[in-house]
């Protein structure tokens, strides 16, 4: 019988290998990256305690996603009084939908997005990324960029639409067997 000390390297290897996917999965259910960090930390403790339930390495990701899902819902319930939090039904639908998306597709989308972000000017790229990387609402972002909130909404909308179209084209191109460098 393996001791906890013997299982530690195996667990750490599996968790680290799948952490980006688990992080993205948690983000579909949680309002911010801080909450994602907290849920992943709690989830890793639960996974460690329940590691004996895991039957094989191939089953790690689905098993881990179930644990992350429960921990995210638990965290979400703690902040459910916040009016900006989605309903549990919506969160469950998003989680179920995400479970159906393949890891390969997520990787292709991530790579396409990287290529499309690289096509933006530095200023536009920073502007698109600011809401995800910095705390504060659009009003604070508008103040920092010396724009009106309305013009910022419009510009961000145009940039996001441009990125959406670019990503779709990149995915079509790679699906047809093309390769971009």
Note the pLDDT tens digit of each residue in 28-69: 888 888 899 999 999 999 999 998 888 888 889 999 999 999
Q: What's the confidence (pLDDT) of residue 1? A: 41
- Mean pLDDT of the residues in the chain: 82
Q: Which CATH architecture has domain 104-175?
A: Orthogonal Bundle (1.10)
Q: What's the confidence (pLDDT) of residue 9? A: 85
Phi, psi of 133 (to 5 degrees): -105, -20
Given a cut of 50, whether residue 25 has pLDDT beyond it is yes
Residue 176, Cβ density class (10 Å: 0-12 exposed, 13-18 middle, ≥19 buried): exposed
CATH number of 4-101: 1.10.1740
Span 126-138, average pLDDT: 71
Span 153-167, average pLDDT: 91
Given a cut of 60, whether residue 26 has pLDDT beyond it is yes
Residue 76 CB coordination number (10 Å) = 20
Q: Which residues belong to CATH 1.10.1740 in the chain?
A: 4-101
Q: What's the confidence (pLDDT) of residue 178? A: 62
Given a cut of 50, whether residue 14 has pLDDT beyond it is yes
Q: What's the confidence (pLDDT) of residue 19? A: 93
Q: Which residues belong to CATH 1.10.10 in the chain?
A: 104-175
- Express each pLDDT in 75-116 by its tens digit: 888 776 555 566 777 777 777 777 666 667 778 888 999 999
Given a cut of 80, whether residue 73 has pLDDT beyond it is yes
Comparing 133 with 109, the larger pLDDT belongs to 109
Span 163-173, average pLDDT: 91
């Amino acid at each position: 019988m393996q001791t906890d000390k013997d299982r530690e390297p195996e667990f750490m290897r599996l968790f680290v290998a799948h952490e980006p996917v688990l992080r993205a999965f948690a983000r579909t259910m949680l309002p911010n990256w801080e909450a994602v960090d907290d849920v992943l930390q709690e989830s890793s403790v639960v996974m460690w305690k329940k590691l004996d339930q895991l039957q094989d390495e191939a089953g790690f990701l689905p098993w881990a996603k179930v644990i992350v899902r429960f921990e995210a819902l638990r965290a979400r319930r703690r902040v459910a009084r916040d009016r900006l939090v989605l309903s549990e039904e919506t969160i469950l639908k998003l989680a179920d939908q995400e479970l159906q998306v393949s890891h390969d597709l997520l990787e292709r989308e991530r790579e396409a997005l990287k290529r499309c972000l690289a096509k933006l000017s530095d200023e536009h790229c920073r502007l698109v990324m600011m809401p995800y990387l910095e705390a504060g609402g659009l009003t604070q972002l508008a103040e920092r960029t010396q724009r009106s909130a309305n013009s910022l909404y419009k510009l961000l909308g145009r940039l996001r639409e441009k990125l959406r179209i670019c990503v779709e084209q990149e995915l079509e191109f790679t699906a047809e067997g093309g390769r971009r460098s």
